[in-house]
Amino acid sequence: MTGAPDIRQHPCESHGPRRDGARPDMIVLHYTAMESAEVALERLCDPEVEVSAHYLIAGDGRIWQMVDEAARAWHAGAGQWRDVHDVNSRSIGIELANRGDHPFSEPQMAALEALMQGIMARWGIAPEGVIGHSDMAPERKDDPGPRFDWARLVRQGLAQGLPEARSCAPDWEAFRSAAQGFGYPEVEDETLLRAVRLRFRPWGRGALAAEDMQIAAAMARV
């Protein structure tokens, strides 16, 4: 794990107070789907767009802070994780400069790990509180996408991994129950399957399979 990251301050206007005295107990990871970090920074700080995040990390590892961690940034939008519907009030949003169609660079991942380590220590955020935008808004979002290295974060203790489990025959009711128990919102079956695969089996294609059921069995054990 690297040391404390060098963070550049670039305040934006699009934020507000966290509602009902909420404190962040989640981190939501995004990709920008834009051509460069500078273009994303301009958009995230455009008050007319009314979108923001706490941090943006460039491909070369540069980090900008746009919103104070104590404030409510406007990054998550409509969605749900577990029993939380106002994810913005309960989370810190990190944008990664990536179009979504290529791997995340080593400097970017190292900067993310260092940043997350500090955030999680300051706010007492557990690894299970680290999610992707696609986890909490599977009907709308794909980020951080199939190229994001979740396993790397798990190895660093910065995201929740899954225990070993046995595979079994495809069973939509069991899959749905396990995924929703893990935290996923109630959505159409195919949308749910795609969201779970983005996180745990991004190479998966086609109908619900025994490998997906193995993931469901593991989710049911945590």
In tens, the pLDDT along 135-165 reads 999 999 999 999 999 999 999 999 999 999 9
Read off the pLDDT of each residue in 122-134 and give the average, rounded to a whole number: 98
**pLDDT score for 22:** 97
Gap between the Cα atoms of 213 and 196, Å rounded: 11
**pLDDT score for 4:** 81
- Look at residue 1 and tell me whether its pLDDT is greater than 80: no
Options 35, 48, 95, 188, the catalytic residue = 95
In tens, the pLDDT along 194-218 reads 999 999 999 999 999 999 999 999 9
**Catalytic: 173?**
no
Helical axes 210-219 vs 172-182, angle rounded to 10°: 40
Domains in the chain (CATH in brackets) are 7-155 (3.40.80.10), 172-219 (no CATH)
Q: Where are the beta strands (DSSP E) in 32-142?
A: 55-57, 63-65, 72-73, 91-96, 130-132
Read off the pLDDT of each residue in 56-80 and give the average, rounded to a whole number: 98
**pLDDT score for 215:** 98
